[in-house]
Homo-oligomer: A and B are copies of this chain.
Amino acid sequence: MNKSDLKLIAVLERTGGFASAQELHQILRREGDGIGLTTVYRALQSLVDDKIVDLLRREDGEAIYRLCGDTHHHHLVCKGCGNTVEIEGGAIEKWAKTMAEEFGFREVGHTAEIFGICSKC
């Protein structure tokens, strides 16, 4: 956890939602921070490894990042406005575990996201 990591966390806290590496870099630059794009990518990578931020993908494949809470959760993402709701995923955990056992897999992780159009859009 170094200075850059903390800067990124601060911006993510401030902005609240998801942001791409490029956007985060621009925000910091705009605020007068001379941080380099490389460092932004590196910091985000290490934050993802440490499970401090979530990484998911926009529809065009661009990576977007967001602070994650302490609990493991999934996302319900609006394709219209990008608004996101964190949801409970107990059923998924159980499903992933069951399936993995059935086929003899170990060190299992999973991804699960729901996409749709929210009531406002």
Contacts and interface: CB of A to CB of B under 8 A. Distances in A.
Interface of A: 57, 59, 61-63, 76, 78-79, 85, 87-89, 91-92, 94-96, 99-100, 103-119
A63 to B, nearest CB: 6
A115 to B, nearest CB: 5
A116 B107 contact: yes
Given A91-B94, A110-B114, 13 more contacts: A57-B61, A59-B111, A76-B99, A92-B95, A92-B112, A105-B114, A105-B118, A105-B119, A108-B116, A110-B112, A110-B115, A111-B115, A112-B112
15 contacts: A57-B57, A61-B61, A61-B62, A78-B105, A88-B99, A91-B91, A96-B114, A100-B114, A100-B116, A103-B119, A105-B118, A106-B116, A106-B117, A107-B116, A111-B112
B116 A109 contact: yes
Given A95-B91, A112-B110, A112-B112, A103 B117 contact: no
A97 to B, nearest CB: 9
How often does this chain occur in the complex, in copies? 2
Contacts of A76: 99-100, 103, 105
